Amino acid sequence: MSSAGPTRALLDAIRSFLEHPVGRISVGRLHDAARAALAVAAAQVFLSADTLAKQRREHPELTEADYLLLPSVLETPDLVLEWQGLRVAVLRTGAHDLIAIVKATAERHETYVVSFRRTERKDVLRMVRKGRIIFGDATGWPRR
């Protein structure tokens, strides 16, 4: 897995999708532990226009800058949890602690972001109690 971060082309594509959401877009590569938990070979994660519309309704506080962090949240999370069947939760600390819920299709050929939001320590600890940590450590969350 590359640690170089998202490319300018990927960030530009995400900006364009945020302005004109049609279909779906690849928003990054999923961390190896998350892919293994979902039993998917493909690293690419998609965000659909429908999910983005839902995100904008339910999480209007998210900015373009937050969405541009999505590739880093997916590829280099601080914590990955198994979450509700064919889903994983990937979390990353930063100016805002962020969580993305990623779902594998039933055939396990593709993965999609189904939720992306800011989070807080109490939410992370609740999720740790309900899920199973497969990467990282929730002790002292967030790490600042």
pLDDT at 1: 45
The pLDDT of residue 141 is 66
Q: What is the pLDDT of residues 71-114, one digit of tens each?
A: 999 999 999 999 887 899 999 988 789 999 999 998 899 999 99
- Exposed (0-12), middle (13-18) or buried (19+): which is 57, by Cβ within 10 Å? exposed
For residues 64 and 86, the answer to whether their CB atoms sit within 8 Å is: no
State the amino acid at position 125 in one-letter form. L
**Statement: the pTM of the whole predicted model exceeds 0.75:** yes
Q: Read off the pLDDT of residues 5-24 as tens digits, 9 standing for 90 and up.
A: 789 999 999 999 999 999 99
Please state the domain extents for the chain: 8-135
Which tens digits make up the pLDDT trace of 39-65? 998 999 999 999 999 999 999 999 999
Percent of the chain with pLDDT over 70: 94
Q: In a 10 Å sphere around its CB, with 0-12 CB exposed, 13-18 middle and 19+ buried, how is residue 100 labelled?
A: buried
Q: What pLDDT shows up at residue 142?
A: 60
Q: What number is the average pLDDT over the span 107-135?
A: 90
Q: What is the pLDDT of residue 52?
A: 98
